[in-house]
Every structure is written in structure tokens, then in C-alpha cells.
Chain A
Amino acid sequence: MTLEAYADTIVPGEKRSADDRAIAGVSTGGGAVQAGALELLQWDATGIHDGLDDLVRLVNEHAQAYAAERGLALDPAVPPFVALEYPDRAALIQLLTKPGHPEKEFWVLLSLFCNMAFDSAAHLNTAQAMADGHPGLKAMGLTQPDADGLWRFEDYSYGREFARLHPDTTSTGSPA
């Protein structure tokens, strides 16, 4: 649940049900969680799969400290990071990833893979993910490949001269 909340802070989505606590629900459409962030994070190809339990423990400790410093009461029914409101989740991740934070590298890495679940579906075959309506690739407007799973664009250029060339250009197109 904590990892879902973290992933949802990086690329937020809409709640899967009315009582969904992990997803803050600050955005419409699927976010990192719906895009498969947990699946990607737990895959050994990433190299962070082994450390996820530690990251969960640490981010909850940080959330507890963050709440204590600000006098926020956390709902004990869910992990502390999940209990934070979205703006506080985001503020905490900003603190953890700030230059100089001793654990910065771990949180940047975790954030990177959460983002990759959404923006490139790094745990899925891309053409298949497109066919299955992957929420991230769809939201970003990637177009469908040809039937063989490869992309080709017949139209690619305005075919117009848009500007003067730099006066010091060689005949082969380099700076003189």
C-alpha cells in the first residue's frame, strides 16, 4: 500500500474504488499504479526489488517524523505515508529527493521506476501494452505501431523552407 501511495505521488491517478486509500485521487485517468508501477518495481530486472521492504519502512518513518514536526494526526489504520494528504506526500518526496539528502539516490531511483511504469511501461512489451490500452502510453499519445509491431511514419515533414541558413555554412552542412 505504501509503495502504491509513493507511485501515485509521482504520477497520480484516480481512485480504483471509493475506499482506495493508497491512491490519493488527485488526477483523472490512470496514474503510475494503474500503469503497473508495483509490477515493475518488484521485477528483479530493476535491481531495486530487493530493497523495497527497506524503502517502505524508511518512507513510513519519514512520514511519521514529517507529521510529528507539523503536528499532523495520522490515521493509524493505514501506514503513515498513506495517511498523509497528497500535498504532504509530495512535499515529503521533495524533501527526500533534494540535493544533499543522504538517502536521495534511493528515492530518485524509486521515483524513476514509478515514472517509467507510466511513461514507457518498462515491464511490458510496448506494442502489446499499446494494444491493451496501457494508461500511460495512451495518455501520452503514443500512436499504434504497424501490424508487425514496428513504427513507421509516411508523413514526417512540412517540406517547407522555414529559415535562412547561417551564412557561415559549408557546402556539406557544417559550421564553416
Chain B
Amino acid sequence: MSTTAERTDVLVIGSGFGGAIAAYHLAAGGADVTVLERGPWLESKEFEHDYKLGSSYTRVFDFTVGDGMSILGGNCVGGGSVVYFAAMPRAPRFVFDRQGSIGRRMWPGAVSRDTLDPWYDRVEESLSITKQNWNDVSYAGGLWAAACNHSGRTANPLAVAIDNTKCVNCNWMMAGCRFEAKQSLLVNYLPAAIAHGARIRPLHEVQHLSRTPDGSYRVHYNVVHDDDYRLQAGSGVIEAKIVVMAAGAGATPVILQRSEAHLGTMPRAVGRYFSGNGERLNTAVIDEAKAAELFGLERGDGLAYAANHIGKGPTVASWDKLDGSLPEYSRYSLEQLYFPPGLGTILAQVPGATGPSWFGKEKKEILKQWASWLTIFTMIEDDNEGVFGPPPATGNSHRISQQMLGRGNLRYEPTKNTLGAWAASDAEVKEILEKDGLAKVMPWTNDLVGAYTVHPLSSCRMGDDPHTSALDDRNELRDHPGIFVTDGSAVPGALTVNPAMTIAALAERAVPGIVQAAQRRGISVTYGAPAPDGSASGRKNVLPLLPSARG
């Protein structure tokens, strides 16, 4: 049978940060690389401004409902980078010393802010990450900053991977950036990987892995129907000497669970210790007159704010509680965020409701004030409570709608630590935004689809302790040499900030080890490719050759 299987040196599962970064470096180093991506491959011009089911908006992300936790994640070539809001802060120093639920440092000894900083630098260069200034900050970000200042707090314009000269502030980022302002992987690592020969196959959903007699891996996939993801359009197998798993923290452990019957026992931590990055949202309904009176806000036509729909996701965050001297579970960031209608609006609750708070007559009244909503995104330290149950028949969920909506097997019961941290952060958001009558605030309800994360992490995490980590400190799956995990599932715990930067930096850090493993398996590959467009590294190499530049 194996005579009919296709072969590649390196098979990468998923094309988000973890997959694209590994694919680029390995292809640039000379390896034969194939990337399987479960979602479609859309070009910038195909990103529509349309909420209709079946438009690009619902094709490019998945909403997977679990028991106590729902995950919103990317589902397209480029993965999370296509649907994210491009906020790229580095994780604070204290995060790497976290103990979480295991009572001792959860990160590998080899990883700290100091050891990760050079890799953060590399991502910063590759994605042209810049610190925004106050002129870049959206109305919503400005209002949040003013409110923070009014209550004695600091506020920071965020570092983002956005080319603001191209951004039209349409606020459709979650549907993919039509204007190529957002520096998703579609405009850097992926084209660079393709230029070096990597092949990307969209709509290929990996089901499980098995092993060949020579120690390589066979990757079994289904082809997903182009429009209706509930349907399958075939299946196949590819053999590879190295497998890089980067299907996302909601899917990587599910593929490994399904592979256990073929590969043998998985490390205990596969599918455990899931973290939702401690995320939670609060919706404030702003009193426009108070916003004008308290902060002197005005944007013409007599409007003070009423600009929920204008801008580009998060632009300003408050980091006052990112203080390493505070105890664990009391540190968090508070970030202004745009959340489009369609999925989240139902979870917003009516402040002071006398009847039902998430639907009904009073809810409709606050929907009418939607333009005056200000959404605050909280990222606390949670307790890695999530556990994946037995895998579904295919993919990582039972798909309900033609796209977007599925039922997964993640179970999440927040501990007192997590609930306490959410409560403390909710109270602070309320204190800041209700001061002097600026707004009325309520957190999103967890009662409908559980807690809700847009940044799933830690379901297959790295660490030093085999009992509580699925990967060693070089991202290799314990007891299964040649399988590496480089997506958010490798991150050991919640980060208190947006995680894309850390996922990307860890993927960059993992690449030299993957290259070495590939070399040991006879693949002709080297390490050392510059950032995808090569510009900064190129300048660094050229300048010393120019006498005038030596100074």
C-alpha cells in the first residue's frame, strides 16, 4: 500500500503562525515541504465585507462550541493570522515564571523572556510590527484611554502588525483584510515559503497519523468540500519523515488523540491543560453626553463617540495590573476590542436588566445603542482547566452549519482561581467605565456557550516535566520522535496579553531543532534563512561591505 502514497520530506499540518513559520524556514533551507490546511485559500480580493453565511466571513473561521468553553479560531490558509486583530505585544516577564495548576514553574527552564526576546525580535522584523501612536488609535481606543486616565490608570497604544498607510479602518479585520494592511501570513511567510518550493493544499483536513516501518509518518487526510464543510470530497495519505503539527490548540490534540491507536500511547498532557488565555469580554454602553462632558470628546456632527463600528480591533490596552510583584491570578490586561455582530452580540448582557439579560425587550434596547458600545477584552491568568474528551468522527468537531459552527469535545470547568481573576477584572472594568456615569457595563454571559476564547492555548504544551507537558523544550512530542508541535497548543499557559507574538516567537525558536531532526533523518536541509522579505538581514550583511558604512 505504501507504494501508492505520496511523499514529502516535511509535512506541516496547518498554515497559521506555527505552520507557516516552520514551512518557510524548512523550505528555504532546502527541504521538500508540503502544508495541509483544512480551510480554503482565499486571496485578498476575495475577502468580502459581508455577514452572509457562505461569504468569506464565515468560510475563514470556525466557532467550536464545547462544554463550558467555546473556541473561535481561523480556518483558512494563513490560519489565525487571517482572522486576528494583529495586536502583537510580547508576553510580560513574569508570565514565564508562572506555576499555574501544577505548583511549579510550567514553562521549560530553557524559555524565559530573555531567551525568547531574540525570537520576538525576529518576528517583529518579519511582520513589520510597529508601536502605534495616538493618531493611529481608533475612537474606541481613545475613549478607553481617556477613561483609564480619568480613573488614574495608564494606557498604551498597542504594537500591531498593520501597515497603517493601507488601513481604511473598515473594522472587517476578522473577515480577512481586503486591503493587505494587516500583515497576515498571506503577505510574508507563506509567499516566501512558496517561493522556496513549499506546496500548500487547502481544504485538506488531517484525521490521524500512523507510522511506516522505517520510522517515518503517514498522514491521513480527508478533502473537505469547498462550500459545505460538512461534506467530504475524498481522502488520501502522504508520507513524511518529519511532521510539524500546527493545526491550532483546538485541533492539534484531537488529531493526536485519534492517532493514539496507530502511533501508541500519547503523552499524558496531550489534550489536557487547555487554556482559553483567561479571556473574557465586557460590554459597556456609553453615555454619549457624559463622554463629551468628561473628556471633551467630539468627532463632528455633534457626536462624542458612537463609533463602535469604526477602526481596527484593539488599539489601546491598560497594563497596570501586569505587575510581576502581584500574586498569580491577580495579573491581567484590559484591552479595548472591536467585536463584530453575528456571534458575540448575543452574549452581551443588559446592565441592570429586570428581565432576561441576553435576549428580549431590554436587550433589543441596548442593541439599538450598538454604535455606542465599547467592548473591553480581559486576559487573566487561568488555571489550564480544559480537557478534550474522545475525538469526534472527523476533524475537531461535529460540524453543524455549512461553515463556521461546530460542536467539539472540550470540557472546561473554571476553578476558583480563574473565577476570582475574572471577577476582579470585571470589577475593575466596571470601576473604570462607570466612574462619573460614563457607561453601564456587564460581562458577557458564560451561561450560553460557556466561556469564550479567541486565543486557544496549551492543549499540547511544552515543558520539562513529562507528566504535565506533551512536548520537550524543543517542541518535540515526547516518545514520538520526528513529530513537532509549533502552534498555540505548545504555549504552556495563559499569557495575560494577546498570544500571536509569543506563538510566532516560539515557532521561530523551534525551527533550528526541527532542522537538526530533519538532518538526522537524512533530509538535506540547512538553517539560517533571513526574515521572509530579507530586507533587514540583507542590510545587516551588506553594510559591513561598504567602507563608508563602517564609520
Contact = CB atoms under 8 A, between A and B. Distances in A.
Interface string A129-157: 00000001001111101000111110111
B527 interface: no
A159 B135 contact: yes
Interface in A78-92: 86-87, 90
A145 B449 contact: no
A173 B159 contact: yes
A44 B402 contact: yes
B149 A156 contact: no
A42 interface: no
Contacts of A166: 154-156, 318-320, 322
A71 interface: no
Label chain B's interface by main secondary structure: loop
Contacts of B172: 151
B196 interface: no
Nearest to A48: B400
B85 interface: no
B341 A163 contact: no
Contact of B156 (A150, A157, A160, A169): A169
Q: How large, as a class, is the contact surface on chain A?
A: 35 or more
Contacts of A93: 356, 359
Contact of B178 (A90, A109, A150): A150
Interface stretch (A15-23, A53-61, A62-70, A113-121): A113-121
The interface centre, meaning the residue of A108, A142, A175 with most chain B CB atoms within 10 A of its CB, is A175
B392 interface: no
Contacts of B359: 9-11, 90, 93, 111, 115
A129 to B, nearest CB: 8
Interface in B41-73: 49-55, 58, 65
B342 A165 contact: no
Contacts of A139: 364, 367-368
A173 B319 CA distance: 11
Contacts of B171: 151, 153
Contacts of B230: 47
Interface in A94-115: 94, 97-99, 105, 108-109, 111-112, 115
A27 B130 contact: no
Interface in B84-134: 89-93, 120, 124, 129-132, 134
Nearest to A107: B448
A97 B259 CA distance: 36
The interface centre, meaning the residue of B320, B345, B364 with most chain A CB atoms within 10 A of its CB, is B364
Nearest to A142: B309
Interface string B342-368: 110110000000011001110110011
Given A45-B53, A120-B342, 14 more contacts: A47-B230, A48-B400, A98-B447, A109-B400, A119-B341, A123-B52, A141-B309, A155-B299, A162-B145, A162-B148, A163-B154, A167-B154, A172-B130, A174-B501
14 contacts: A12-B360, A45-B402, A112-B346, A119-B342, A120-B340, A136-B367, A141-B368, A151-B168, A153-B168, A162-B142, A163-B148, A174-B501, A175-B89, A175-B90
